[in-house]
Structure 1
Amino acid sequence: MSAETWTAVSGGVVGVASAVATFWGGRAARRTRRQENRDDFTTIVKELRTDLTTVKAELGKQKTESVRQAERLSDQDQALAWLSNRVRVLVGYIRERGMEPPAPAPMSERARRHIHHIDG
């Protein structure tokens, strides 16, 4: 074989080896379907954990607000009971003295549901 033939053959071998290396490197760098699914699952789980943390924080705020509103309603209930009793005592006192208390102002139906026992 001549030097030119050796050069041509070695160039061909180098070209084929280069093509195989490129193909193999490209194949090795490519991600498998399993890897893609795992990464998708990891992303979804991470997002769910973030959303769950947000939901827990919001639930904590709602519970705090609920407790605050329950205390406020309880305080208002006690205030209405005290006022109802006070009005009842005053009306009784006025009637004992032989007078009639002034007529009450009109009351809305919403208010009447809560303090209907005052006029009774």
Structure 2
Amino acid sequence: MRPEMLTALSALAVAIVTAIGGIVTTVIGRRQPRRPRGADRRDDFTAVTDKLGEHIARLEREAEQDRQQADQDRARISAQDFALRYIAGWSRSLVAYMRQAHLEPPPPPQPVPEEVRPYLHDLNS
């Protein structure tokens, strides 16, 4: 036999062995435990549904905590508003008492900020 023929036969033998190995690998790879078709998709769907359920429950808990915090903040702001109105009314009554006694009340210790001016109606009186 010539060397070219020997090379061709060895290449053919390698190709045949490779093809048989590929077929065996494919058959073994496709063997799975008997499960109905679409079972993988159902498992994926339930996993995703469970994750979404957990995420929704967490979001609902956070929303409830935010609502409770907002209620607490509203109550605190309302109490602070009442306290500030009480103090402003009390200081106005003191200023009125001093003026009634013909005394001049001292000026504010610092310029009044522009954000506060709408809430102090008798600032210039």
1:87 alignment partner AA: S
Give me the whole-angstrom Cα distance separating, in 1, the residues matched to 2:44 and 2:53: 14
Per-residue CA deviation, residues 65-95 of structure 1 (Å, 9 max, x unaligned), is: 1111000000001001101110110110000
Which runs of 5 or more residues in structure 2 are unaligned?
A: 1-26
Q: TM-score, normalised by structure 1?
A: 0.69
Give the drift of 1:56: 1.2
1:26 to 31, 53, 64: 31
1:108 to 105, 110, 113: 113
2:83 aligned with 1:79:
yes
Relative contact order (alpha carbons < 8 A, sep ≥ 6): 1 or 2 greater?
1
Give me the whole-angstrom Cα distance separating, in 2, the residues matched to 1:33 and 1:77: 67
Aligned residues: 96
Q: Is the 8 A contact 1:91 1:101 kept in 2?
A: yes
Give me the whole-angstrom Cα distance separating, in 1, the residues matched to 2:120 and 2:67: 32
Which of structure 1's runs of 4+ aligned residues deviate more than 3 A? 30-33
Task: Tell me which residue corresponds to 1:69.
Answer: 73
Q: TM-score, normalised by structure 2?
A: 0.66
What's the % identity of the aligned pairs? 30
1:112 alignment partner AA: R
Q: Is the 8 A contact 1:84 1:118 kept in 2?
A: no
Per-residue CA deviation, residues 29-70 of structure 1 (Å, 9 max, x unaligned), is: 265651121111101100011101111111111111111100
SS, match of residue 43 in structure 1 = helix
Aligned-residue CA RMSD (Å): 2.4
2:74 alignment partner AA: A
The structure richer in helix per residue is 1
SS, match of residue 110 in structure 1 = coil
Task: Tell me which residue corresponds to 2:43.
Answer: 39
SS, match of residue 109 in structure 1 = coil
